[in-house]
Amino acid sequence: MAYPQGPQDPQQWHTQPGQFYGPPPGYGSQPPQPPKKSSNTGLIVLAVIGGLCLVLFAGCAALIALSGGNTPEVVTATAPADTTMAEPQQQVTEETQDQAAEEQSQQQTTEQSQDRTAEQGVLEPAEVGGTLTLEGRDPGVKVDVTVTKVVEKATPASDFLKPKSGNRYVAIEFRIKNKGRAVYSDAPSNGAKLIDDQGQQYNTTYGEVREGVLFGAITVSPGDIRKGVVLYEIPESVKLAKFQFALNSGFADQKGEWVLT
């Protein structure tokens, strides 16, 4: 059995490549251990940790991006709240405007009703001493009429002009002021009526009394005043109720009334 030959020179034991030569192991010694292989476990762990860090960083970046993208939605969501707050104020404003328009309409209706009432000749009655404004048939004719005195039993100023037996004179004094633009010409006694408590109406009569001067035909310029009395002959037992007067000898649409009781 042949054995490989080693180098004869001990200095040449480590000189030839690919071969390992050394002194022969002693009897009973362990053979030399093979060199340990280098391990890559550390590098793998570092790579895994680095990958996890990258994943976490990417996740955080995505969350930040999503959060930044939702910011306009949050701002937009607050807009309806402002609109909702404005709607009640708008409703209140509209209701106030509607209420004001309704009140104005009612006022206009009332004024129109009053105008129609005046045109139809219906005025609220006044008392003795009260003044009513009456309009004539001619444009610009407007006068203030004030009943100043009522004499239920006037005294005749002449023995030739006396009431019949069982009758008496009633004298009513009133004042006329022209407050219109036109001259007022009239015979007031023609438009003056006396009404008793039974609704009986009496026309004026001619006579003379000590309590005043009877109205005749008058012409009153704007701003001027005329005063006089109208005379009635009525039964002694009659109870007075109203005095009625209208311009234009009683033909004007408006008629004023004064309560005498």
Q: Is the pLDDT of residue 109 over 70?
A: no
The string over 204-242, giving b where at least 16 C-beta atoms fall within 10 Å of a residue's C-beta and e elsewhere, is: bbebbbebbebbeebebebeeebbbbbbbbbeeebebbb
Q: Which residues on neighbouring strands pair with residue 229, listed in sequence order? A: 173, 214
Q: Which residue has the tokens 């109870």?
A: 239
Per-residue pLDDT tens over the stretch 177-219: 999 999 999 999 999 999 999 999 999 999 999 999 999 999 9
- pLDDT score for 53: 66
pLDDT grade, residue 101 (50/70/90)? confident
- pLDDT score for 104: 74
Which structure tokens are listed for 215?
């109205």
Measured at the CA of 212, the angle between CA 208 and CA 217, to 5 degrees, comes to: 75
Q: Is the pLDDT of residue 114 over 50?
A: no
Give the span between the Cα atoms of 248 and 137, in whole angstroms.
Answer: 7
Q: Is the pLDDT of residue 139 over 70?
A: yes
- pLDDT score for 14: 45
pLDDT grade, residue 1 (50/70/90)? very low
- pLDDT score for 2: 47
CATH topology (fold) of 126-259: Immunoglobulin-like (2.60.40)
Q: Is 130 exposed, middle or buried (0-12, 13-18, 19+ CB in 10 A)?
A: middle
The predicted model scores a pTM of: 0.55
Where are the domains positioned within the chain?
42-120, 126-259
- pLDDT score for 183: 96
If we measure between CA atoms, which residue out of 161, 143, 162, 158 comes closest to residue 227? 143
Q: Average pLDDT of the chain?
A: 77
